[in-house]
Amino acid sequence: MMSISNANIEGHFDQVGPTFIRNMVILMSICFVGYIGLWNQRRWGVLLLLLSGIPFCAYGFYVDRPILLNFLPLIAGITCFPLWPVLRKP
């Protein structure tokens, strides 16, 4: 989310707030579980990616850093949704 090569890294942390790392770890962990479900070809993986991708994108806009990383779970959920009939039930 932030550029490590930037010399003013403290300024970035001041901009995004003190709960940035905690929120990102929570959101990225939920998305990771969704990717695991998709890898195992489960229907709940697609649903979890769709449902966790929306707040992940919104949080990127909230901290004024919307990048591709924020949109990947939502894009994965949308593009895998047509595979719903062939995915296994939980």
Over residues 31-83, the pLDDT tens digits come to 999 999 999 999 999 999 999 999 989 988 888 777 888 899 999 999 999 99
* In a domain? residue 79: yes
* In a domain? residue 1: no
* In a domain? residue 45: yes
Prediction pTM value: 0.78
Burial of 69 (0-12, 13-18, 19+ CB in 10 A): middle
* In a domain? residue 50: yes
Backbone angles phi, psi at 78, to 5 degrees: -70, -45
> 19 near 85, Cβ under 8 Å?
no
Distance CA 11, CA 28 (A): 23
CA atoms within 13 A on the CB side of 4: 0
* Residue-number span of the structural domain to which 56 is assigned: 10-86
Number of domains in the chain: 1
